[in-house]
Structures are given as structure tokens and as C-alpha cells.
Chains A and B, each alone.
Chain A
Amino acid sequence: MFDPLTLGAIAVVAMLILALAGVPVGIAMGAVAVVGLWITGGPSFALSVLTNLPFATASDYAFVVIPMFVLMGAIASSSGITNELFRFSNLILRSTRGALYQATILSSAGFAAISGSTLVNAALFTRIALNEMLKLGYDKALSAGAIAAAGTIAALIPPSISFVIYGLLTGESVAELLIAGMLPGILTAVAYMVGVYIFVRARPSLAPEPQPRASLREIGRSALNLWATFLLAAVVIGGIYLGFTTPSGAGALGAAGALAIALFRRKLTWASLAENLRSTAAITAALFIVIIGGLMFTRFFLVAGTVTEATDLMQSLDISPIAFIILLAVVFTILGMFMDPMAMQVMTLPFVYPIVTSMGFDGVWFGVIMVKLVELAVLSPPVGMNLFAVIGAAEGRVKLPDIYRGIVPFIIIEIIVLALLIAFPQISLWLPGQMM
């Protein structure tokens, strides 16, 4: 019989072979876990896990938050909220050089408060902003880079599905995680905006001459249109932060609120509502099979003793915590070259989380770092997912070499922000500490 570490390593390799052969990630993890549980705990134990875990997971009220956040984002984006945010951001910033870069980042951060999906943000803002940027003479590479990078803010600012899944897989408080992402999300947006300001100052050819300042009346009228965004964000984030409701309740309220707002403003047709519901149902099913597989994999690691052995091994190696985080950053960057963020998170959490917490790191803080690492990976060439979201939505107006060039400055900013989050855990932990 193999020792727990060898067994764990064999399971990881087997799971990767299945996944690379085209087996859906959740099923690859689930299938390997069942075989592993069969070997370590016996047939009756493996079958008992298979009987109870899938239905128990899918019927856990705490998981209701996932489809509700997805539905809220889908309805909100199809009801024109993104266009309003972009228009408003452009109006207040247009008298500065590089205004459209800044407007893209600001409105993407604003939309992040009602959407938890970085790829959707990147694809949406490509359709909204890229054409206008290119028409006005903005640098193609930096435009594409700004859109791809700004999309990642959605993974940090609540409602973030990445945090929900991290919380549900690790047992950390989902509410605390969601709130913990707020300041890092805002910090990222501010860092991007400052970075773009510096780039444009250093190389004025990156952006055309600024436009005349918008009148207060024009700005005011545009701001009034944003009531829906603020209302939804206030209901969801405020509800969780002030303890009025659970994340699942806030998600339900947000989804129903987005629907009510879209209907009230006559921005939603029956066809688009049906499409939103259908896409949410498909995403929900696809996400849950990954979550179920991930939880089965975690169960296998625990039963096999792999987690305990791995934790003991890491402690005996006496690696400094910071060196471990840097090592993780390198591993995630490599994984991000061929894996999507969700798969990366679910596949690595079962063994990374116990090691990290055993090293004395705060689980909520590590959630922020992990999401940041995953988002850094989706921006990294050659195959960062956000880059392809922009390329796909750009319909030939941007080529891969352009976006590879344009994303580099934002990757540097991301690394600086990541270093700040590692050096100052309070950026992530202060707000959750104030929760009621």
C-alpha cells in the first residue's frame, strides 16, 4: 500500500490526465476521488460518500448564493447598466488625457459591484469601449490591456463568485470573504488608474487630446441614471456587511431587485429574461459539478491522510511563509497558462488551504491572495483567459501581439498590488473586522 503522500500525488496526476483528456474538470476530480475513497476507506464508504455528498451539497442553502449572484449579473448587464456606467465615467473624466482608459477602469469597477464575473466584464467592456477608443485614436495595445485588466476587479469587489466558492470549499465565512475583497478591489482600480495616468503622462501619444469638460447639468443627468447600480450594490453589499441577511438572501434580493429594476425601466424583454435564466441554469449546473468534484477530492485527501502528511512535510521543510506564497504565485502563473480560474482554484484548494492555515496565515486573507493570484494568472500571456475574452469580443480589431504588449504594464501593477496585499494584511482584514 502506498503512503498518503504518494497516494495523493497519484490522485493529482490521475485527475490531471483525465482533465487533459477532455473529461469535465468536476467529473475528473469526482471520479478519481471515488476510486481513491474506494481504496482507502473501502467500497461501502466510497458509495456512501457518492450517495450523500452530491445531493447534500446541491441542496445546501449556503450555495443558493451562487446562482443568485450569476442571475443578478446577467439581468443587470442585459438591462443596459454597463452603458450607463461607462457614459457617466467618461463624462466626469473626459477633460483629462487618457479619459477613456480611466473611464473603462472606473465603470468596470462600478459594474463589479453587481457582477461577479471577470470574463463577462472584460467581454462587455470590449464591446462598449473598444470601438470608441480606437475611433478616437487611443493606443490599441493599451486599450485592450486596460479592458482585460479592469475585468479582474469583478473577482474582488462583491458579489464575487470566486470568494463564494473559496468560502464554501474551505469553510471560511462567505460574508467575511466578500467584504474582505472590497478594499483590495478598490485598491486595484485606483492603482490601474494611477498607472494609466503615469503612462499617458510619460507617453502622450498613447491617448488623443482631451475633450472639453462636460457641463454639470450633463453629468448630473447621467448620474441620475445610475440609481439602479447604486441601489443594487447597496442592497447586496450593505445587506451582507450590516448583517441584515446571509449572502444567499442578499443574492436572492439582488437577483429579484435587478429583475424589478429592469422591468420598471422597460429594459428587459421576455426573450432576454428567458435567455438570462437559461444561461444561469447552465452555469449553475456546470459550477456545481466542479464544486461537488472538489469536495469529493477534499474528502479523499482527508481520508487518505494526504493533508496531514503534506502539512507535516511543509513544516519540516521549514520554508518561510513568504517564500511559500511566492512559490504559490509561480505555480498559479504556470497553471493559469492552460487552466481556467475556477478549475485552478478548486483543484488546488484541497491541499493548499490546509498547508497555508497550518503556517499561521489567516484563511480570509489567503482567500484574497488566492483570488488575486488567480486573476493575475488570467492576465498572463500566452493564454490568460481574459486576454482571449477581449480578443473574442473585439472581432478582429485587436490581435494577440497587441494585447500581449498592452497587458504588460497592468501585470506589473498587479504584482505591486499583490505585494501590498501580502505586506499589509489589514487592507483585506480591516473591513471584515468591522462587520456587525
Chain B
Amino acid sequence: MILFTSIDWLLRKLAYVGFIAASLLLLVVALMGTADVISTNLFFKPIPGMVELSGALLAVIVLLGLAQAQAQGAHIVIDVATTAMGPRMHKIAMIFALAVGAAFMATVAWRTTDLALSAYSYNERALGALAFPLTPFKALGAFGAWLSAAEFLRQLVIRIVTPASIDTSPTSHTADVSEDTADV
């Protein structure tokens, strides 16, 4: 039990740190994009590698944000059937949904790790004026995907050991997140 509690704590912390990093990177991408637009239009000189770097950072933002999105219940889910279920059926459905989520994200993580290892093996670099190495971005992406798989697994274990009468569905920390997500 202590081991599970420690793993649970560690996973939550890692997911949160990854999420904060993703949030800060958003600001970096916005500022870089702005600098590039201004430089291109005012000085007729695009910032070298900005497009490639923004893209690589976006992948890190997306993949590092996945675990926390699951933790906050921000993923888009159709709940019309599950909300109508009784506690027992709801528990079975949640176990099934979380198991599918964990399996899918673990497969994505496995393949992205393979992608990162392959990038490392031949020192893959971005195509373009600024040939920065791509391995760190792919490795961070793979780490984010593994965190997401672990978050699904963590919720799955909690759902299995918790009685059906107690709802363990992740709830959004901010109402706006689910509102926004559902909308777009």
C-alpha cells in the first residue's frame, strides 16, 4: 500500500511538472512566433529555424500535457451512456475505458520511444536553416506519452480497488477547461 501511495504521489508530481513545463513552453512559442512575424515583415528577415523549433516544441507541449489532461478530466468524452449507468455497470465501463486508454497510450509511448532512439542513433537534426538536434524533443515527447499511459494505469488501479458506489472519475480543476475543450 505504501509503495502504491508513493508511486501515486510520484506520478502525480511528474505529470504536474511536465504540465507546468508544457504551459511555459506555450508562452515561448507565442513569443518566438511573434518575433518571427515582426522580423519577417519589418526587417524582411525570418528568424532561422523558428518554424521547425516551434513545431518541435508543440509536440513536447502536447505530449507532456496529455497526462495532466487525463488527470483533470479534460479529454473529450461522450458521457451520455455512462451517466445513465448504475454504479456497478459504470465501474465496469470505467475499467474498460481506462484499460483501453492505458493500452493505447502505452503503444504510442513505445513507438515514440523507438522514434527517439532512432533519432539518437543517427543524430537526427531538423531540416532547415537551424539544424538543431531532434532527439531531445522526441525523448521528451516519449516521456510525456509514458506519463500519460501511467496516469491511465494509476486511475485504472484506483478504479479497480475502489467500491463501485464511490465515483473516481477525474474532475476538471477548472470549469473553463472542460467548457473550452467540449466546445472546440
> By the criterion CB–CB under 8 Å, are B65 and A284 in contact?
yes
Q: Is A185 an interface position by the 8 A CB rule? A: no
A65 nearest CB across to chain B (Å): 10
Question: B47-84: contact bitstring with A at CB < 8 Å (1 yes, 0 no)?
Answer: 00001101110110111011011101011111111100
Interface SS of chain B = helix
Please give, as numbers and ranges, the residues of chain A lying within 8 Å of B24 by CB-CB distance.
277
Task: Take A64-B33, A119-B182, A342-B183 as given contacts and tell me if A50 and B108 are in contact as well, using a CB distance cutoff of 8 Å.
Answer: yes
The residue of chain B having its C-beta at the shortest distance from the C-beta of A77 within the complex is: B176
Please give, as numbers and ranges, the residues of chain A lying within 8 Å of B33 by CB-CB distance.
64, 68, 248-249, 251-253, 255-256
B45 nearest CB across to chain A (Å): 14
B109 nearest CB across to chain A (Å): 10
Give complex CA distance A63, B80 in Å: 30
Task: Take A64-B33, A290-B76 as given contacts and tell me if A51 and B115 are in contact as well, using a CB distance cutoff of 8 Å.
Answer: yes
In this complex, how many residues of chain A approach chain B with their Cβ under 8 Å: the count is: 79
- Of the candidates B26, B27, B76, B96, the one whose C-beta lies within 8 Å of that of A286 is B76
Question: B96-137: contact bitstring with A at CB < 8 Å (1 yes, 0 no)?
Answer: 110011011101100110110000000000000000000001
Residue with the greatest number of chain B CB neighbours at <10 A, chosen from A25, A31, A64, A70: A64
Please give, as numbers and ranges, the residues of chain A lying within 8 Å of B105 by CB-CB distance.
27
B101 nearest CB across to chain A (Å): 5
Q: Is A317 an interface position by the 8 A CB rule? A: no
A286 nearest CB across to chain B (Å): 5
Q: Is A197 an interface position by the 8 A CB rule? A: no
Q: Is B40 an interface position by the 8 A CB rule? A: yes
B139 nearest CB across to chain A (Å): 11
Please give, as numbers and ranges, the residues of chain A lying within 8 Å of B41 by CB-CB distance.
244-245
Q: Is B6 an interface position by the 8 A CB rule? A: no
- Of the candidates A28, A162, A281, A286, the one whose C-beta lies within 8 Å of that of B19 is A281
Q: Is A339 an interface position by the 8 A CB rule? A: yes
Task: Take A251-B33, A285-B65 as given contacts and tell me if A119 and B180 are in contact as well, using a CB distance cutoff of 8 Å.
Answer: yes
A215 nearest CB across to chain B (Å): 36
> By the criterion CB–CB under 8 Å, are A19 and B78 in contact?
yes
8 pairs from A and B in contact (CB 8 Å cutoff): A24-B76, A54-B63, A59-B55, A59-B59, A165-B184, A279-B176, A289-B75, A343-B78
Which A residues have a C-beta under 8 Å from some C-beta of B?
18-28, 30-31, 34, 47, 50-52, 54-55, 58-61, 63-64, 67-68, 70-71, 74, 116-120, 123, 161-162, 165, 239, 244-245, 248-253, 255-257, 259, 274-275, 277-290, 338-343, 383, 385, 389, 392
Given contacts A27-B75, A61-B52, 5 further A-B pairs with CB under 8 A are A24-B77, A50-B111, A120-B180, A249-B36, A285-B63
Sorted from nearest, which 5 A-B pairs have the closest CB atoms?
A: A252-B33, A285-B65, A119-B183, A59-B59, A22-B97
